[in-house]
Amino acid sequence: MGNSALRAHVETAQKTGVFQLKDRGLTEFPSELQKLTSNLRTIDLSNNKIESLPPMIIGKFTLLKSLSLNNNKLTILPEELCNLKKLEMLSLNNNHLRELPSTFGQLAALKTLSLSGNQLRALPPQLCSLRHLDVVDLSKNQIRSIPDTVGELQVIELNLNQNQISQISVKISCCPRLKVLRLEENCLELSMLPQSILSDSQICLLAVEGNLFEIKKLRELEGYDKYMERFTATKKKFA
């Protein structure tokens, strides 16, 4: 991509606060953006070949609310990313991330996090510090179990479809705001699904198709009627 074309994008972004440059074969984060650290509210560099984010620049976008880098080649995120105190939406689907920075819990304004199609092997414990997080997509990773720390998650929707989950902590029933739990296409035996999800949680949409049991067996479990009451009540609300 030519310098003049990039310059034109930068000039537009200066006026609009939005920098979008998708499908351009970029191999690195455009250094020209450091001129706009106090302007930009949205950056979208999806569908490129970016392997890393520059630590010296990325943490300086003080007004940034939305950052999308889907379909790139990121293997690691710099700690400086966690300085983005106004960031509300972070979308990093289809990269090569194995973990999140230890300071990830400092992204205090974050509401939506998408990490589908990465190489995470565990539920990142840092997510439990994020009090405004509403939606988390961790589908298509390599997560095998859900630990006790899950009970501290504040999310409304948690997508764990297409992982390798065979164990779930009973603490998932303690999530105070969790309404939608997606666990399709994992490795769950029915005996490993905590019954308290049905009888004693806020969850009103539980998606578990494609595991190691028949859905009709789920309907026979104690507490299923309580779950259906919540499911039906929610359905009516949005009808």
Residue 239 has pLDDT above 70, yes or no: no
Q: Report the percentage of the chain scoring pLDDT > 90.
A: 93
Tens digit of each residue's pLDDT (9 = 90 or more) over 95-144: 999 999 999 999 999 999 999 999 999 999 999 999 999 999 999 999 99
Q: Specify if 199 maps to a domain.
A: yes
Q: Specify if 11 maps to a domain.
A: yes
Residue 1 has pLDDT above 60, yes or no: no
Tens digit of each residue's pLDDT (9 = 90 or more) over 58-79: 999 999 999 999 999 999 999 9
Number of Cβ within a 10 Å radius of residue 120: 17
131 with 65, same domain: the answer is no
132 with 227, same domain: the answer is yes
Q: Specify if 23 maps to a domain.
A: yes
107 with 142, same domain: the answer is no
Q: Specify if 97 maps to a domain.
A: no
Residue 164 has pLDDT above 90, yes or no: yes
Q: Determine the average pLDDT of the residues in 158-178.
A: 98
Q: Specify if 95 maps to a domain.
A: no
Residue owning tokens 């104690």: 222
Strands of 39-97 (E only): list them: 42-44, 66-68, 89-91
166 with 190, same domain: the answer is yes
Residue owning tokens 């009709």: 216
Per the DSSP assignment, residues forming a β-bridge with 66 are: 42, 89
Number of domains in the chain: 2
53 with 153, same domain: the answer is no
Q: Specify if 96 maps to a domain.
A: no
**pLDDT given for residue 4 in this prediction:** 75
Q: How confident is the model at residue 5 (pLDDT cuts 50, 70, 90)?
A: confident
Tens digit of each residue's pLDDT (9 = 90 or more) over 6-58: 888 899 999 999 999 999 999 999 999 999 999 999 999 999 999 999 999 99
Decide which of 111, 145, 167 is a domain's last residue. 111
84 with 130, same domain: the answer is no
77 with 174, same domain: the answer is no
**pLDDT given for residue 235 in this prediction:** 82
Please report, for the domain that includes residue 229, its CATH number.
3.80.10.10
Q: Determine the average pLDDT of the residues in 188-197.
A: 97
Strands of 138-217 (E only): list them: 145-146, 157-159, 167-168, 180-182, 205-207
81 with 167, same domain: the answer is no
35 with 130, same domain: the answer is no
Q: Specify if 219 maps to a domain.
A: yes
List the domain range (segments joined by +) for residue 43. Answer: 1-90+102-111
**pLDDT given for residue 8 in this prediction:** 87
Decide which of 82, 111, 140 is a domain's last residue. 111
b/e per residue 172-196 (b: at least 16 CB within 10 A): bbbbeebbbbbbbbbebebebbbbe
Could you tell me which of 156, 207, 153, 201 has the C-alpha nearest to residue 178?
Answer: 156
107 with 143, same domain: the answer is no
**pLDDT given for residue 60 in this prediction:** 96
Tens digit of each residue's pLDDT (9 = 90 or more) over 143-161: 999 999 999 999 999 999 9
Decide which of 111, 141, 172 is a domain's last residue. 111
Q: How confident is the model at residue 2 (pLDDT cuts 50, 70, 90)?
A: low
Report residue 107 CA to chain centroid gap: 13
**pLDDT given for residue 86 in this prediction:** 98
173 with 229, same domain: the answer is yes
**pLDDT given for residue 180 in this prediction:** 97
155 with 179, same domain: the answer is yes
Q: Specify if 36 maps to a domain.
A: yes
Q: Determine the average pLDDT of the residues in 163-168.
A: 98
